[in-house]
């Protein structure tokens, strides 16, 4: 479970205060995957980062009672001067997992060949994305956080392998996806919410959420 209790978050832009959440309260239970619809720039990444614990609220409380992933595609947890072998073994220890398993899983999934033993700083953006994505799939979570759908890499073989592992994982896991597009949410979610004016409006179905979202777009 993850719960926001009267959470506020805003940024000072130098001219005005940009409000992301204004004393918002909501709860996501295990087993009830949630899609959040929000326009670009309204705070999708900020909310996902707050759920992950990467960003703190200004006020209010966020309670997590499950294993919550870092946002899918997040690349902040790895160290550039270290190799993929070193990074994967280090992260495995942090999560209390078997380093041999996490290293071999990532080595198999990434297809980086000899680069797996080179520092991440020598990787292309696509290679880094593949490694970070593989690392997340090597760890098991109760709730997966996804910002704007699947991070697409151009490596067809990787996308096929990673996509099938993720689909399998999602059969038992709960996911929270934020997106500006209802189409992205359709694939994953049972219930849906709309982020608007600092509040998260929760709905039983995506159809209901879309009605508010579309109404806003045309009003
Ligand atoms: N550290 C910060 N300082 C000031 N403003 C910020 C900061 N982080 C985010 N913002 C602003 O807060 C708003 C929400 O940002 P966020 O990245 O969460 O939006 P988003 O909905 O994910 O956007 P996009 O769809 O464009 O990725 C934006 O206007 C952004 O400029």
Listed range (61-70, 78-87, 157-166) with the worst mean pLDDT? 157-166
What is the separation of C-alpha 35 from the centre of its chain, rounded to a whole number of angstroms? Answer: 12
Q: Are residues 94 and 125 located together in one domain of the fold?
A: yes
ipTM: 0.93
User: For residue 41, which phi and psi values (nearest 5 degrees)?
Assistant: 85, 0
Q: What is the CA radius of gyration of the chain?
A: 18
- Find the 205 Cα to ligand 1 centroid distance in Å: 27
Number of domains in the chain: 2
Residue 88 scores a pLDDT above 90: yes
Residue 129 located in a structural domain: yes
- Domain hosting 90: range is 84-144+154-170
Token duo for residue 168: 């399998």
- What pLDDT score was predicted for residue 187? 75
Give yes or no: residues 96 and 135 share one domain.
yes
pLDDT of residue 10: 97
- Work out the number of other CB atoms within 10 angstroms of the CB of residue 138: 21
Whether residue 219 is predicted with pLDDT greater than 60 in this model: the reply is no
Average pLDDT on 84-106 reads 95
Q: Does residue 125 belong to any structural domain of this protein?
A: yes
Residues 64-83: what's their mean pLDDT?
Answer: 87
Residue owning the nearest CA to atom 29 of ligand 1: 41
Distance between CA atoms of residues 51 and 78, nearest Å: 20
Residue 210 in domain: yes
Q: Are strands 2-12 and 17-28 parallel, antiparallel or unpaired?
A: antiparallel
User: Is 57 within the bounds of a domain?
Assistant: yes
Atom of ligand 1 nearest to the CA of 39: 21
pLDDT at site 152: 63
Judgement on whether residues 89 and 159 belong to the same structural domain of the protein: yes
Q: Is residue 96 part of a domain?
A: yes
| Same domain assignment for residues 49 and 105 | no
Lowest-pLDDT range, 52-66, 84-98, 184-198?
184-198
Q: Do 93 and 161 lie in a common domain?
A: yes
Instruction: Give the tens place of pLDDT for each residue, 5-56.
Output: 999 999 998 999 999 999 999 999 998 889 999 998 899 999 999 999 999 9
Instruction: Output the CA 39–ligand 1 centroid distance in Å.
Output: 11
| 34 in the same domain as 65 | yes
Give the residues surrounding ligand 1 with Cβ less than 6 Å away: 11, 13, 18, 20, 38, 40-46
Q: 74 in a domain, yes or no? A: no
203 — pLDDT class (breaks 50, 70, 90): very high
Does 202 reside within a domain?
yes
Q: How far is the CA of 42 from the centre of ligand 1 (A)?
A: 7
Residues 6 and 62 in one domain: yes
Same domain for 193 and 121: no
CATH of the domain at 52: 3.40.50.300
Evaluate whether residue 78 is within a structural domain: no
User: Could you read off the pLDDT of 111-158 as tens digits, one per residue?
Assistant: 999 999 999 999 998 899 899 889 988 988 899 998 876 666 778 888
Residues 134 and 186 in one domain: no
- CA separation for the pair 21, 27 (Å, rounded): 14
């Amino acid at each position: 479970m993850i719960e926001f209790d009267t959470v506020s978050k805003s940024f000072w832009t130098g001219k005005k205060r940009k409000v992301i959440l204004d004393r918002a309260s909501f709860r996501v239970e295990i087993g009830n995957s949630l899609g959040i619809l929000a326009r670009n720039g309204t705070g999708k990444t900020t909310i996902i980062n707050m759920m992950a614990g990467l960003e703190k609220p200004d006020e209010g409380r966020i309670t997590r009672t499950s294993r919550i992933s870092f946002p899918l595609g997040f690349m902040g947890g790895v160290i550039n001067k270290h190799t993929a072998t070193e990074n994967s073994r280090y992260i495995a220890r942090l999560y209390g997992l078997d380093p041999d398993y996490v290293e071999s899983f990532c080595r198999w999934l990434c297809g980086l060949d000899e680069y797996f033993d080179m520092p991440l700083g020598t990787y292309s953006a696509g290679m880094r994305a593949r490694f970070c994505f593989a690392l997340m799939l090597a760890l098991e979570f109760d709730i997966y956080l996804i910002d704007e759908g699947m991070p697409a890499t151009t490596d067809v073989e990787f996308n096929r392998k990673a996509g099938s592992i993720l689909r399998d994982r999602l059969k038992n896991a709960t996911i929270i996806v934020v997106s500006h597009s209802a189409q992205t949410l359709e694939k994953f979610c049972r219930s849906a919410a709309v982020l608007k004016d600092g509040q998260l409006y929760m709905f039983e179905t995506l159809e209901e959420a879309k009605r508010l979202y579309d109404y806003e777009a045309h009003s």
